[in-house]
Structure 1
């Protein structure tokens, strides 16, 4: 009887929703979750075999993982390393050095970071902060003294690899690749980059010491597989506390997978980017709307999530402008139409605004010039307008040429949603936008 009760255990609806939020959010943000390798099985196998040859057999290697941002380069490498850790005695016997081209902007900084991560500060002593040549000579000597049978393997991971190619003389890359070709300390050099032309950046002497192994990630799955990813990422696991709620939830997800509206949203996202992280952001926005009155996802949730994802930030920014600032934007657009996109200055905008006031004969819009200038400067701070490049800063601010960073559609959309927009201003806008 107790077994049956535990099997049929039911939780309050609010508790179930809280559990769903926790499980799915953890799944979306977790980097190395099981089953996250989509369409990169062969690349994963290749990388694991390459690392095994270094870690187990003491064979030095070098390789590049190449793919667009968000294609899973770091995930692939971390997943391969996790698999290696499961093999006995590997976790303790491998030294890992992680470098990033955005942080280690020259070879001197990179060398200090290598020394720190290999825990050689106490050995080197004061010379850690000595000349680059001395530190490099010490590091190379330490690595070259070993042999492939007794030395601890060293794994160098170079994130943003293409930035290391811009270092002076590419000294660090040359020496790392040179060691990886030797039969001394086993070394694996793995570079991660999003540039397909990265080999063209390498000097001839560096290129000659590179193994030319390249692992490409291109997110090769089709839309049918993308729908399966969608279902897998939203489905609740069998161990969910409330079995009945989990079954209802998973059945609903299966129905949504075949829903035409949801399919259109997902196809739009798929055509925009195959990046699974972007899909996670879309799903995260969708599940944010579930609550006790609305415990299950619907097609409306995905439509709203898609709208939020594709929302124009500048058009949204305009919703918070004052009526005066909105009038100045309309005046600028009117000037651009009259002068065929030529830049304008504050005096021209102010004159255009004065024409509107005189034509409508409403003293309510008759602001003092310093007030109008303050509104104009606020638009500049919001980056809705910007000064033209190459102009002298000595030019009076009233006559400094500016450019409008909004187009016709953005202004029209902002006016449609602008709260309590005066009729006169709306009519003026329509006359200048048409």
Structure 2
């Protein structure tokens, strides 16, 4: 994984800063105080190690070079955090490299899984008892060094675990935000799809009925032909207008101030019935609604779409058959919609209008979203559609 320029600058500054901080740490070790248990004494870089290693090695005094090497290795701490931490720990047992050890342990806790980080933490704490066992004359300085070492290791790893947890929470929050946005977008698309189906299916079915009448009755009087042609033109024009409204919403930015297309209300049911009656359908509408002006917009829009889809299905599957619509309700009891039409006998041709089979499914979803339910099916010789929508007080 490539690093950004910002990360490179941070790592370069960290290498320089740790190298500078190693100087006062080395001075503290010379005065007998070590921040991390070492195999050397405070007097020299290999004071204690000289008592353990053979003579040819004892004469080699590498001083603080292991600590500086550990500082330089921090440049690769993001790419190989575990390897850098292990090498820094090895260097810290030979030279005052407590600062690069702390940084490398913090990086392991942030970048690696908890199980791997805990193994590294165990390896970092291992020199504490080992130093006390090997050095029988550790005294107070050795105990303080062990305490300091344990404190710095635990603090560095704990800080790293905290930062890692915060990163995970941030990533999870971002993922949840993306998921919510996708769900909202999917919901908006489904709503638009339902609107397009309900509106265009109604308009185009009216257009198909009038066009079919002209096709099967070419010898009709000129006045009737002109009237049918005018209805076809008007239906096509209205269908195009409805489609343009929906497309305008789809093309607008998410935060655009473009107004959404106006939604129908319960008062538009009468206009809907009149349009279908003008197309040659026989429709009887009975309305008994207490205070219709108080009907919520969602309830009225749902009732309108139910009646619209019911009339569209009647034109498709039962052309020429009468349709009886009943809309009743009052506040606190809800609104009920009942639509009935005789089922055509076998052999009677339909209107020839293709259907997607999704209209009634969409109506059921609409009713459920409004808190109600919808049932449909055959009852004797009639096709029956019944819906109930709550009307809260």
TM-score when scaled to structure 1?
0.21
Higher share in helix: 2
Larger radius of gyration: 2
Q: TM-score if structure 2 supplies the norm length? A: 0.23
